[in-house]
């Protein structure tokens, strides 16, 4: 008894100090770091919210629904401010572009009127050439200097007289140019039906280009027979063998120029000439074509000579294409 009591009295219960052990939970680890202690209640609250069912989450209006949906209604797309209500033009509504040989008298008269309009339009180009010609501009400057000398210097700086006389000189200058260039109107009026008929009574071949029903281009081609066969062949088609084609007029409406319409008519003229007169038949512009008439002295016709050179170059280009095809 004494021994057992002695053992009980002498035995000491050792208490473990757990403060030095490493923490096991996340909260304990955070709390173990000085300055970063976090309440365990916060993590408990967070874990409880994360474990809420979908019905509890969707009951909160401010909480977004992150689960996938099978369908979702989107608001209609507003029209762009740059969009217009103008419908696009259908290709079927665009008029066709056609190139034909005009056979009826009405069509030929329309082509002749188109040629006459091109002659009348030469008046405008001639007027511009005169207005800005260096010789005439020098004369105008001399006249204006004389007006200044008379009205400003000798009339004690009379500004009103300077403006009045100066305006009169300029108006007289423009009216004089208009009168001189008006001769092209008379030339255009002289193009009558007889101009399309040759001495032997044969009418010229008239090639027309239509945009829909509108005639926008015309070319007048005269097929001249072989001189050695004239009078020997009763059939004109036979007398044309070895002949040549002479282009007497070639024009296109202004708003359709530079779009290849004139080149197509030149190709058709060469094709017809080579078909009627032979593969090696010559094709060229007539020396006295519809637009060759001049009403001004030669020194003022530079712009028209340039146009004739461009027309000759265009024809040479077409003839070169045919020569390449023959090879």
- What size, in residues, is the chain? 327
Q: Which residue has the tokens 């059939």?
A: 235
Decide if 178 contacts 130 (C-beta within 8 A): no
pLDDT at 170: 95
Strand order in the sheet with 97-102: 97-102, 205-211, 214-224, 244-252, 282-285
* pLDDT tens for each residue of 152-184: 777 677 788 889 899 999 999 999 999 999 999
* Residue 41 in domain: no
Closest CA to 270 of 258, 257, 285: 285
In whole angstroms, what is the distance from residue 275 CA to residue 223 CA?
Answer: 11
Does residue 71 have a pLDDT over 70? no
* Residue 235 in domain: yes
* pLDDT tens for each residue of 260-272: 999 999 999 999 9
Decide if 256 contacts 211 (C-beta within 8 A): yes
Q: Report how many domains make up the chain.
A: 1
pLDDT at 68: 46
Query: Confidence class of residue 90 from pLDDT cuts 50, 70 and 90?
Result: low
Query: Confidence class of residue 36 from pLDDT cuts 50, 70 and 90?
Result: very low
In whole angstroms, what is the distance from residue 130 CA to residue 174 CA?
Answer: 9
Q: What is the mean pLDDT of residues 134-148?
A: 92
* Residue 27 in domain: no
* Residue 174 in domain: yes
Q: Where are the alpha helices (DSSP H) in the chain?
A: 2-10, 26-32, 40-50, 54-58, 105-131, 134-148, 159-181, 183-189, 236-239, 261-277, 302-326
Does residue 45 have a pLDDT over 90? no
Helix 134-148 and helix 159-181: axis angle, to 10°?
150
11: which DSSP letter? Answer: -
Domain hosting 125: range is 96-327
* Residue 204 in domain: yes
287: which DSSP letter? Answer: T
Query: Confidence class of residue 73 from pLDDT cuts 50, 70 and 90?
Result: low
* Residue 5 in domain: no
In whole angstroms, what is the distance from residue 205 CA to residue 102 CA?
Answer: 8
Percent of the chain with pLDDT over 70: 69
Q: What tokens were used for 249?
A: 């007029």
Does residue 91 have a pLDDT over 70? no
* Residue 155 in domain: yes
Q: Say which residue, 134 or 324, is predicted with more confidence.
A: 134
* Residue 217 in domain: yes
pLDDT at 140: 94
Q: Mean pLDDT of all residues in the chain? A: 78
Q: What is the CA radius of gyration of the chain?
A: 49
Q: What tokens were used for 32?
A: 């173990």
Decide if 293 contacts 120 (C-beta within 8 A): no
pLDDT at 234: 64
Contacts within 8 Å (CB) and 24+ apart, 186-195: 187/119, 187/293, 187/295, 188/116, 188/117, 188/119, 188/120, 189/116, 191/112, 191/115, 191/116, 191/119, 191/290, 193/109, 193/112, 195/112, 195/290
């Amino acid at each position: 008894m004494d021994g057992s009591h002695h053992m009980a009295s002498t035995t000491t219960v050792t208490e473990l100090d757990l403060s030095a052990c490493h923490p096991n939970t996340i909260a304990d680890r955070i709390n173990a770091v000085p300055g970063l202690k976090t309440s365990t209640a916060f993590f408990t609250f967070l874990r409880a919210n994360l474990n809420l069912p979908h019905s509890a989450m969707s009951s909160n209006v401010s909480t977004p629904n992150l689960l996938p949906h099978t369908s979702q209604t989107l608001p209609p797309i507003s029209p762009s401010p740059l969009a217009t209500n103008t419908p696009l033009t259908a290709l079927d509504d665009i008029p066709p572009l056609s190139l034909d040989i005009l056979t009826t008298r009405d069509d030929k008269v329309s082509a002749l009127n188109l040629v006459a309009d091109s002659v009348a339009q030469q008046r405008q180009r001639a007027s511009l050439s005169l207005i800005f010609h260096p010789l005439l501009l020098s004369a105008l400057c001399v006249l204006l200097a004389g007006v200044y000398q008379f009205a400003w210097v000798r009339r004690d700086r009379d500004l009103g007289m300077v403006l009045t006389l100066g305006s009169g000189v300029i108006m007289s200058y423009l009216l004089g140019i208009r009168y001189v260039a008006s001769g092209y109107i008379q030339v255009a009026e002289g193009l009558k039906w007889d101009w399309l008929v040759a001495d032997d009574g044969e009418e010229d071949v008239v090639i027309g280009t239509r945009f829909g029903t509108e005639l926008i281009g015309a070319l007048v081609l005269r097929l001249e027979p072989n001189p050695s066969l004239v009078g020997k062949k009763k059939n004109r088609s036979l007398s044309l063998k070895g002949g040549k084609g002479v282009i007497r007029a070639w024009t296109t409406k202004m708003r359709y120029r530079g779009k290849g319409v004139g080149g197509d008519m030149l190709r058709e003229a060469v094709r017809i000439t080579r078909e009627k007169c032979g593969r090696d038949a010559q094709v060229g512009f007539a020396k006295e074509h519809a637009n060759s008439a001049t009403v001004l002295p030669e020194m003022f016709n530079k712009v028209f000579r340039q146009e004739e050179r461009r027309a000759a170059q265009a024809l040479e280009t077409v003839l070169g294409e045919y020569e390449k095809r023959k090879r």
